[in-house]
A and B are shown apart, each in its own frame.
Chain A
């Protein structure tokens, strides 16, 4: 008779920690992160424009870089989790122990999310530094500008501070992270049916594109309930793009952020559950 073991959060955390450390050692991850940091740092070198334009460029490029490199890290980092375990045959050793498949899968997913979270935090810190650097430079240039009166200079400095120190940018980064969690979950789902990492990465990017194109498809095919119902299988990733509007100074109510976050979390939960159901039946 097979002994059933209970669901253990401790085992999930152990697997997650192990996955996280393994991923951190990957050269691909480190190269991607270094690239991301270089791109973000270089965003502050735009000049020859008005201060509003310069600050807009820095914010757009940095948040765009966080989204691009975060997507790369989430998809590539998650796509190799199961294929690597199968190729190295370490999955047999782990599942031979009293570890449930659900715990294994969830642990792997959480480990990947920690990696994505760490990357987003590191990139956001760099973004903050780039913005701070740009703000200080613009303020210094304004104070040195002899064409401006004291009043004009003071007003411009106030405007630079106000545009640079926008607390709503945190909302944009947070929703980007939720989107990355969802993309990682979708990639995990593909990796439960395929043993090829390349296939998983390709499908992850397909999902990314399909998710962004969904809005355009609805525009073309119309708002019919049947079309909408069919398309619901693909998440609308465009809904997470509030960063553009934050940068433009539009009001971003917490309520809207909460709805978008709820949408992402609900999707992620269902996708991870489906991944578990597929993985539980899979022959290894």
Chain B
């Protein structure tokens, strides 16, 4: 008789003891932005029954990967809207996945935008350009959503910079995003060069020269982030700009 009572007491004790710890773990997960959107009935309809079971069993990453792999088929069949919806779904499942946002935006801004611009179904060239711009805008919105979810990684800032630079021809916006990317300690060294080049395009060569001079003086040598000899990059850029600005020999940086 005493044993069942003991079992009940143990279970009640477990409930009382575990609730604060569970609350703490839950609060930590929310603060660290773990997981993703909860699995709802609407999501079950979107991912399908099999995938929903996988999601409910805790295999969110694997399910998102399988869906993402499906993009390849949509891409080959030129089913752009389906591909877009699928990419949206993957980022809903794993909003912290940099590669989904980055690669998704690249598909939209580059591949799909180009494909729709040369689509034989376009009645005029203008229609192609209009459709191209629509997909580039989608890419920008997609990346902006990604940045709202993952502001602490350099990749999406860099992706947005590339989009503004190469697709919108907006060097000043691109400059700002490259500057943000450069601020991350793990950003590759080419971000620095891209930032300085956009400064040159947006603010003029003198501003870029001043920036390189500042880097040379303050960070000589800047610790290499990825094995690249930044010193030689700085030297090369300084020389190029000094030539472009016709800076007298005595005023040039001794690099």
Which residues of A are at the interface with B, using a C-beta cutoff of 8 A? 46, 48-50, 52-53, 56-57, 59-61, 63-64, 67-68, 151-152, 154-155, 158-159, 162, 208-209, 212-213, 215-216, 219, 225, 228-230, 232-233, 236-239, 241-245, 247-253, 255-256, 259-260, 262-263, 266-267, 270, 273-274, 277-278, 280-281
Contact = CB atoms under 8 A, between A and B. Distances in A.
Given A53-B103, A56-B61, A263-B25, 18 more contacts: A50-B99, A52-B102, A60-B64, A67-B59, A68-B59, A151-B190, A155-B228, A209-B56, A209-B57, A213-B56, A216-B39, A225-B19, A239-B25, A263-B22, A266-B17, A266-B21, A277-B6, A278-B3
19 contacts: A49-B72, A50-B103, A52-B99, A56-B99, A60-B62, A67-B58, A151-B190, A219-B38, A232-B18, A239-B26, A241-B60, A243-B61, A245-B32, A245-B35, A251-B32, A253-B28, A270-B14, A274-B7, A277-B6
A277 B3 contact: yes
Contacts of A46: 69
Contacts of A251: 32
Given A53-B68, A259-B21, A259-B28, A212 B58 contact: yes
Most buried by B among A59, A229, A248: A248
Contacts of A243: 61
A256 B94 contact: no
Interface string B225-244: 01110000000000000000
A20 to B, nearest CB: 27
B75 to A, nearest CB: 10
A260 B7 contact: no
Contact of A281 (B3, B22, B57): B3
B227 A154 contact: yes
B60 A260 contact: no
Contacts of A239: 22, 25-26, 29
A229 B32 contact: no
Contacts, number: 154
A270 B25 CA distance: 19
Contacts of B97: 56, 248
Contacts of A49: 72
B34 interface: yes
Interface string B13-52: 1110111011011101100111100110000000000000
Contacts of A68: 59
Given A232-B19, A244-B60, A256 B228 contact: no
B173 to A, nearest CB: 24
Contact of A256 (B11, B32, B190): B32
A212 B39 CA distance: 11
B141 interface: no
Q: Chain A interface mostly helix, strand, loop or mixed?
A: helix
B167 interface: no
A52 B94 CA distance: 15
Interface of B: 3, 6-7, 10-11, 13-15, 17-19, 21-22, 24-26, 28-29, 32-35, 38-39, 56-62, 64-65, 68-69, 72, 94, 96-99, 102-103, 153, 186, 188-190, 226-228
A256 B56 CA distance: 22
A232 B22 contact: yes
Contact of B96 (A158, A245, A274): A245
B68 A152 contact: no
A250 B190 contact: no
Contacts of B38: 215-216, 219
B167 to A, nearest CB: 19
A247 B61 contact: yes
Contact of A158 (B14, B15, B29, B227): B227
B188 A250 contact: no
Q: Which 8 pairs between the two chains have the least Cβ-Cβ distance? A: A232-B15, A60-B61, A158-B226, A52-B99, A244-B61, A64-B62, A155-B188, A248-B96
Contacts of A219: 38
B6 A48 contact: no
Contacts of A253: 28, 32
Nearest to A65: B62
B94 A244 contact: yes
A255 B25 CA distance: 10
B227 to A, nearest CB: 5
B14 A259 contact: no
Contact of B98 (A151, A154, A248): A248
B21 A262 contact: yes
Most buried by B among A60, A213, A251, A263: A60
A259 B153 CA distance: 26
Nearest to B31: A256
Nearest to A51: B99
Contacts of A209: 56-57
Nearest to B11: A233
B230 to A, nearest CB: 10
